[in-house]
Amino acid sequence: MGRVVTLVKTENEEDKVYGMAYEIHSNNMEKTFENLHFREKCGYSLKEVTFYPHNDLECKPISCICYYANEDNSYYSPSDDLSLISAQIYKSIGPSGTNKDYLYNLCNALRILLKNVNENCNNEEITRQESHLFLLETLVKQLETNSAI
């Protein structure tokens, strides 16, 4: 069993989720959702959310569909033990590849996205904004380094 990064519900209206929205052509809709439903199985729900494009004054908010994990998901694991989580990420492989590559790609994409959102933001500020995710990245890289020794 692997690990994924998932959205969790918050009561804080100031919380933000940064990410990308993709438009799916109607010809590809059925196959795309078939693949996503396979990948996001075992207790994920779809939720319609409002996406606010950044740095595009011409674009109005758009309606998007987002997957999120339910706590009744059989794979839902709210553990706060980062050493256990990082070990699980390090060794897990799923249909889309290794969990560690997924984590590394997510962190790199998030760094780029946060820099574009906050042009005056330095790496320290970016790391603070997503400290949990970037700490996991550091721990997994340490496991990788230690296993190479």
H or E element in which residue 138 lies: helix 131-148
The single residue of 23, 30, 34, 40 carrying the catalytic annotation is 40
Give the separation between CA 25 and CA 22, rounded to whole angstroms. Answer: 10
Sign of the Cα torsion 42, 43, 46, 50 reads negative
Give the list of residues 6+ apart from residue 61 with CB closer than 8 angstroms, or none.
50, 51, 52, 53
Query: Is 13 an annotated catalytic residue?
Result: no
The catalytic residues are 40
